[in-house]
């Protein structure tokens, strides 16, 4: 029995109890342990393959607090390295992405090829170096593992991780429902937003699949859409979701191994989505049932740092923890390659309307995260609660809805929208507990 970890995450389904201690969101010491025991020990999302599509493309990313570089060499092979010069450690690029045949260190100009090989040491011939110098390895330090699934590139600093496909497990079917939307594949719409919020990274992990907050935190969005439609204003052409139609919908929650979770809601107004604009071709290609699931609202969280949300629009959202109460977000709009210009324009308008940092919803959420972090300073309250909402409906494996969509969930439930399950958060904290347990081994409570 590991006393501290069992107090931090209380997971006793036999007693109908699941709760997470507030220290998990507020303790700088626990944050440091999360970086070493979670981010540096498991698969972490790094980049979308389209961002490094051509030879010599690169993108700078992070595994927890460690800077990494994902490159494609001239032969087309993907690589992942620590973004740190072997001389004195400077980052080899401070740019977020680009195309370069050579990484020249800004400090003393040691240079590296995109395959990580050291190409030159400035003024080596005049350096009076000992003969042993050439016997050492100065190539960029590679990540222990680098793999991709359907365009999503993940890296790990530890070799002791399962193959990526196994790590993603049943959640792969939900990735497929995104990546199969385009007959010619999917791409990131050019541009991205980067923003920070002053709260813990797990606020975003939970919120990325939180149906319970929609009718509370986003009331203004709901009212604005209703009023636009009533007045047939120009902005009603954005075709944003009328939440009042969602209230009667069917919804579900899914639990997967390794910390992943998802929620879905039947889309009562599928015609609002740009994907619906060419529905006949979509149905002909993927079948009516999968097409319907592509049009449903589905939010997937892949532990620990990436989300595919397909709701008001389709986004890829990456979480970068900075410190215990600072988190940096990167958000991209995902789209079928070659979709008609009007559909693309509609997609961008919908993205701006809801998800963009200047939109009507993301500021609601980030302001709430900061309110939570402020409220969590009240340490006497002990635990975060509510992780049992939906518990009596949850069943092992995939229920009829999940199985019908080909989703091999570990556990699942289906109910009316108003159920607003919180079951999908349990895998986050089970995986958190599994990875963090060694940090508390032998430490008395
Ligand atoms: S730190 Fe890179 S060349 Fe000196
Ligand atoms: Fe939200």
Exposure on the CB side of residue 284, measured as CA atoms within 13 A: 5
Predicted local distance difference test score (pLDDT) of residue 103: 98
Atom of ligand 1 nearest to the CA of 90: 1
| Residue minimizing CA distance to atom 3 of ligand 1 | 108
Q: What is the pLDDT of residues 136-159, one digit of tens each?
A: 999 999 999 999 999 999 999 999
Mutate to test the pocket of ligand 1, among 82, 90, 91, 124 (most ligand atoms within 8 A of CB): 90
Beta strands in 129-220 (DSSP E): 145-149, 152-156, 186-188, 193-197
| Residue minimizing CA distance to atom 1 of ligand 1 | 88
Ligand 1 residue neighbourhood (C-beta within 6 Å)? 85, 87-88, 90, 105, 107-110
CA of 151 to the centre of ligand 1 (A): 33
d(CA 291, CA 282): 6
Looking at the CA of 211, name the nearest ligand.
Answer: 2
Looking at the CA of 355, name the nearest ligand.
Answer: 2
Checking if the pLDDT of 168 tops 70, the result is yes
Q: What is the pLDDT of residues 14-27, one digit of tens each?
A: 999 999 999 999 99
Tokens of 189: 């719409």
Backbone CA torsion sign across 51, 57, 59, 63: positive
The chain-wide mean pLDDT, for the chain, equals 96
Q: What is the pLDDT of residues 257-280, one digit of tens each?
A: 999 999 999 999 999 999 999 999
Predicted local distance difference test score (pLDDT) of residue 242: 81
Checking if the pLDDT of 1 tops 60, the result is no
Atom of ligand 1 nearest to the CA of 92: 2
Question: How far does Cα 184 stand from its chain's mean position?
Answer: 23
CA of 134 to the centre of ligand 1 (A): 17
Spatial CB neighbours of 155, under 8 Å, sequence gap ≥ 6:
43, 44, 46, 61, 63, 68, 70, 80, 143, 145, 146
Q: What is the pLDDT of residues 56-102, one digit of tens each?
A: 999 999 999 999 999 999 999 999 999 999 999 999 998 999 999 99
Atom of ligand 1 nearest to the CA of 106: 2
CA of 254 to the centre of ligand 2 (A): 19
| Residue minimizing CA distance to atom 4 of ligand 1 | 108
CA of 114 to the centre of ligand 1 (A): 17
Q: Which domains does the chain have, with CATH numbers?
A: 44-147 (2.102.10.10), 169-440 (3.90.380.10)
d(CA 398, CA 405): 10
Q: Beta strand 186-188 with 314-323: parallel, antiparallel or unpaired?
A: unpaired
Checking if the pLDDT of 379 tops 70, the result is yes
Q: Which range among 240-249, 289-298, 316-325, 426-435 shows the weakest confidence by mean pLDDT? A: 240-249
Spatial CB neighbours of 421, under 8 Å, sequence gap ≥ 6:
211, 212, 251, 252, 253, 263, 389, 390, 393, 413, 415
Atom of ligand 1 nearest to the CA of 86: 2
Predicted local distance difference test score (pLDDT) of residue 445: 65
Nearest residue to 158 via CA among 142, 172, 144: 144
d(CA 160, CA 150): 22
Looking at the CA of 110, name the nearest ligand.
Answer: 1
Q: How far is CA 316 from CA 130, 281, 428, in A?
A: 50, 25, 19
Looking at the CA of 104, name the nearest ligand.
Answer: 1
CA of 121 to the centre of ligand 1 (A): 9
Mutate to test the pocket of ligand 1, among 85, 91, 103, 122 (most ligand atoms within 8 A of CB): 85
């Amino acid at each position: 029995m590991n006393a501290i970890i069992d107090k931090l995450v209380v997971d006793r389904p036999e007693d109908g109890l699941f709760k997470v201690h507030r220290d998990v969101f507020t303790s700088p010491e626990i944050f440091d342990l999360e970086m070493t025991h979670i981010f540096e020990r498991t698969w972490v999302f790094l980049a979308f393959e389209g961002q490094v599509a051509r030879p010599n493309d690169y993108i700078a990313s992070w595994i927890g607090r460690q800077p990494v570089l994902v490159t494609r060499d001239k032969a087309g092979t993907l690589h992942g390295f620590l973004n740190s010069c072997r001389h004195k450690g400077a980052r080899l690029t401070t740019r977020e992405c680009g195309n370069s045949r050579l990484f020249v260190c800004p400090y003393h100009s040691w240079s590296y090829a995109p395959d990580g090989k050291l190409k030159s040491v400035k003024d080596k011939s005049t350096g009076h170096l000992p003969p042993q110098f050439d016997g050492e390895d100065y190539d960029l330090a590679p990540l222990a593992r680098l793999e991709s699934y359907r365009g999503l590139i993940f890296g790990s600093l530890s070799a002791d991780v399962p193959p990526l496909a196994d790590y993603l497990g049943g959640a792969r079917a939900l990735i497929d429902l995104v990546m199969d939307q385009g007959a010619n594949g999917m791409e990131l719409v050019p541009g991205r937003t980067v923003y920070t919020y002053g709260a813990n990274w797990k606020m975003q992990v939970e919120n990325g699949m939180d149906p319970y907050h929609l009718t509370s935190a986003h009331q203004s969005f709901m009212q604005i859409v209703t009023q636009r439609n009533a007045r047939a204003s120009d902005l009603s052409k954005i075709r944003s979701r009328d939440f009042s139609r969602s209230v009667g919908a069917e919804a579900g929650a899914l639990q997967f191994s390794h910390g992943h979770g998802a929620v879905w809601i039947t889309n009562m107004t599928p015609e609002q989505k740009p994907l619906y604009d060419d529905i006949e071709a979509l149905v002909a290609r993927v079948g009516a049932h999968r097409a319907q699931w592509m049009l449903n609202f589905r939010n997937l969280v892949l532990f620990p740092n990436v989300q595919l949300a397909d709701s008001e629009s389709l986004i890829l959202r990456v979480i970068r923890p900075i410190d215990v109460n600072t988190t940096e977000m990167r958000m991209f709009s995902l789209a079928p390659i070659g979709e008609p210009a009007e559909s693309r324009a509609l997609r961008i308008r919908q993205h701006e309307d809801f998800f963009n940092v200047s939109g009507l919803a993301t500021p609601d959420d980030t302001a709430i995260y900061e309110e939570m972090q402020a409220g969590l300073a009240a340490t006497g309250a002990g635990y975060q609660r509510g992780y049992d909402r939906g518990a009596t409906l949850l069943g092992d494996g995939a229920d009829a809805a999940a199985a019908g969509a080909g989703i091999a969930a570990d556990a699942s439930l289906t109910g009316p929208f108003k159920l607003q399950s919180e079951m999908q958060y349990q895998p986050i904290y089970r995986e958190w507990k599994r990875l963090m347990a060694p940090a508390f081994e032998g430490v008395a409570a």
